[in-house]
Chain A
Amino acid sequence: MLNDLILNSRQYGHLLEGMWVTIQVLLGSFALGTVMSLVMGVARLSTRRWVRGSALAYIEFARGVAAIILLFWMFYAVPILFGAPSMPPMLAGILALGLNMGAYGAEIVRGAIQSVPKGQHEAATALNLSNRDRLREIILPQAIPIILPPYGNLTIEVLKGTALVSLITLSDLAYETQKLRQNNVISSDPVPLPILYLNTLIIYLILAQLLNLFFKIAERRSARKFGSV
Chain B
Amino acid sequence: MSQVEPVMPTGSSPKGAASVEMKQVVKAFGEHVVLDKLDLDVDPGEVVVIIGPSGSGKTTILRVVMTLERIDEGHIRIGDRQLYHEEKEGQLIKASEKHIREVRSDISMVFQHFNLFPHMSAQRNVMLAPIKVRGHTEDQAAENAKRLLDRVGLGDKLDHRPSELSGGQKQRVAIARSLAMEPRVMLFDEVTSALDPELVGEVLNVLRELAASGDMTMMMVTHEMGFASEMADRVLMFDKGTILEQGPPEQIFKDPQQERTKNFLKAVLSH
Instruction: Report A's interface with B, CB cutoff 8 A.
Output: 117, 119-120, 122-123, 125-130, 133, 137-138, 141-142, 225-229
Contacts and interface: CB of A to CB of B under 8 A. Distances in A.
With a 10 A CB-CB cut-off, give which of A126, A226, A229 has the most chain B CB atoms: A126
A126 B133 contact: no
Given A228-B118, A228-B119, A129 B133 contact: yes
Interface stretch (B71-79, B104-112, B230-238, B239-247): B104-112
Contacts of B66: 122, 125-126
Contacts of A120: 115, 117
B19 interface: no
Contacts of B114: 119
29 contacts: A117-B115, A119-B115, A120-B115, A120-B117, A122-B66, A122-B109, A123-B115, A123-B116, A123-B117, A125-B67, A125-B68, A126-B68, A126-B107, A126-B108, A126-B109, A126-B110, A127-B133, A128-B105, A128-B133, A128-B181, A129-B129, A129-B132, A129-B133, A130-B101, A130-B132, A228-B118, A228-B163, A229-B118, A229-B163
A128 B101 contact: yes
B177 interface: yes
Nearest to A123: B115
A127 B68 CA distance: 12
B119 A122 contact: no
Given A138-B117, A142-B118, A226-B119, A122 B68 contact: yes
Contacts of B104: 125, 128
A226 B109 CA distance: 24
Nearest to A122: B68
A137 B111 contact: no
Interface of B: 66-68, 101, 104-105, 107-111, 113-119, 128-129, 132-133, 162-163, 177-178, 181
A226 B68 CA distance: 26
A98 B212 CA distance: 60
A138 B111 CA distance: 17
Contacts of A226: 119
Nearest to B113: A119
A225 B129 contact: no
A122 B113 CA distance: 11
A119 B111 contact: yes
Contacts of A227: 118-119
Given A125-B66, A228-B119, A229-B163, 11 more contacts: A119-B115, A122-B66, A122-B109, A126-B107, A127-B177, A127-B181, A128-B105, A129-B132, A130-B133, A229-B118, A229-B162
A220 B32 CA distance: 46
Q: Which 8 A-B pairs have the closest CB atoms?
A: A228-B118, A123-B115, A127-B129, A119-B115, A126-B109, A229-B163, A226-B119, A133-B132
Contacts of B108: 126-127
B115 A225 contact: no
B44 to A, nearest CB: 20
Given A129-B129, A228-B119, A123 B105 contact: no
A223 B162 CA distance: 15
A137 B132 contact: yes
A228 B101 CA distance: 28
Contacts of B111: 119, 122-123, 126
A127 B114 CA distance: 13
With a 10 A CB-CB cut-off, give which of B113, B115, B133, B181 has the most chain A CB atoms: B115
A89 B206 CA distance: 66
Nearest to A120: B115
Contacts of B163: 228-229
A78 B132 CA distance: 44
Nearest to B130: A127
Contacts of B129: 127-129
Contacts of B110: 126
Contacts of B128: 127, 129, 137
A77 B105 CA distance: 53
A117 B114 CA distance: 12
With a 10 A CB-CB cut-off, give which of A125, A128, A129, A130 has the most chain B CB atoms: A128
Contacts of B177: 127
B7 to A, nearest CB: 17
A138 B124 CA distance: 12
A137 B133 CA distance: 12
A143 to B, nearest CB: 11
Contacts of A137: 117, 128, 132
Nearest to B165: A229
Contacts of A228: 118-119, 163
